[in-house]
Amino acid sequence: MNAEDASVEKDASQQESSQPESSQATAAVESSAATPVNDATPPDDAAGATPQKSPRANFQLIILSLTVLSVMAINGIFTLFMVPKMPPPAIPAVADVVAAQVTAIRAEESDQLELSELPISDAELDPLRELPGLEVLILDAGVVTDAGLKTIASLPDLIHLRIRQSEITDEGLEAIKQCENLRVLNLPQAKLTSEGISHLTGLSRLRQLRVGGDGANDFSRSVAKLKQLRALHLINVPVSDEGLKELAKMPYLESLYLDNPRITSAGWDWLFANHPELHVHVNQAHHDRDPNWHPHRPSDK
């Protein structure tokens, strides 16, 4: 083999040995092109880790939360003050209350008519005129006058009469003398004198008397003529020592209440020495020398 042939063979041999390397590179490129590249895939050491928020993001979240809470609080306050309040319950008309109780009395379902908080006028008493079966009449809110007592005096079966917040005078008691069955008469705000008390002498069944005076007239002598009384309460009557002795003569008297009397210490000494059986109150409390002193419940006053 000459030198030229040897050179040709060497070149061919080199070409054959270099061919596999070129093929491998081509295959690698093709393989790389065939495999899709995912740029969003995190590196292996970051997979599954919790993303960390920046301080600025945390601050914004806190501000947002506070804003929401503030809006909710303002909305609650607005609702509290802007929601219309319910009106108070309507006060029933006196005429309706009286009519209902009168109906019950006429049906013999009751023998009592009571107005504890509703005031009533003389005109509104008219449905009671000559009403049979009404035995107890309680009018605690006023405002009855002497004219209204003329209507009340027409009640044929009246046994117990209590009228508060009404300044009844002697004229009103003149009408009451018609109530022959009356046993309890309670007129604490009355402005009576001896003349008015004298109208009660014909009420032989009267057992309890509680009346107010005009502050100047001591009508103890007139009251002492009501010998059938068991309980007596005089309010704003200036009872003197002599008047106290007149009252002590009442044969059946068991309870004596005096508000704003003018009795001296000597007068009280005489009473407790001579009539220890009397249950005595002065200005809504037991006299400190009363031998019958005992504690009272608040409702007893």
Domain-by-domain residue ranges, the chain?
93-166, 171-301
E strands in 92-226: 112-115, 136-139, 160-163, 184-192, 208-213
Would you say 236 and 259 are in contact if contact means Cβ atoms under 8 Å apart?
Answer: yes
The whole-model pTM stands at 0.70
Q: φ, ψ for residue 3 (rounded to 5)?
A: -65, -30
What pLDDT does 53 receive? 58
Whether residue 222 is predicted with pLDDT greater than 80 in this model: the reply is yes
pLDDT tens for 265-278 read: 999 999 999 999 99
284 closest CA partner among 251, 218, 228, 236: 236
> Could you tell me what percent of the chain has a pLDDT over 70?
74
What pLDDT does 39 receive? 45
Give 282's strand partners.
258, 285
Q: Count CA atoms closer than 13 A to 131's CA, side-chain side.
A: 27
Give 232's strand partners.
209, 256
Whether residue 6 is predicted with pLDDT greater than 60 in this model: the reply is no
CATH superfamily to which 171-301 belongs: Ribonuclease Inhibitor (3.80.10.10)
- Average pLDDT of the chain is 82
> Region 144-148: what's the mean pLDDT?
97
Phi-psi region of 43 (alpha: psi -120 to 50; beta: other; left: phi over 0): beta
pLDDT interval class at 5 (50, 70, 90): very low
110 closest CA partner among 97, 93, 123, 95: 97
pLDDT interval class at 10 (50, 70, 90): very low
Whether residue 68 is predicted with pLDDT greater than 90 in this model: the reply is no
Would you say 200 and 194 are in contact if contact means Cβ atoms under 8 Å apart?
Answer: no
What pLDDT does 18 receive? 44
The one-character DSSP state at 98 is H
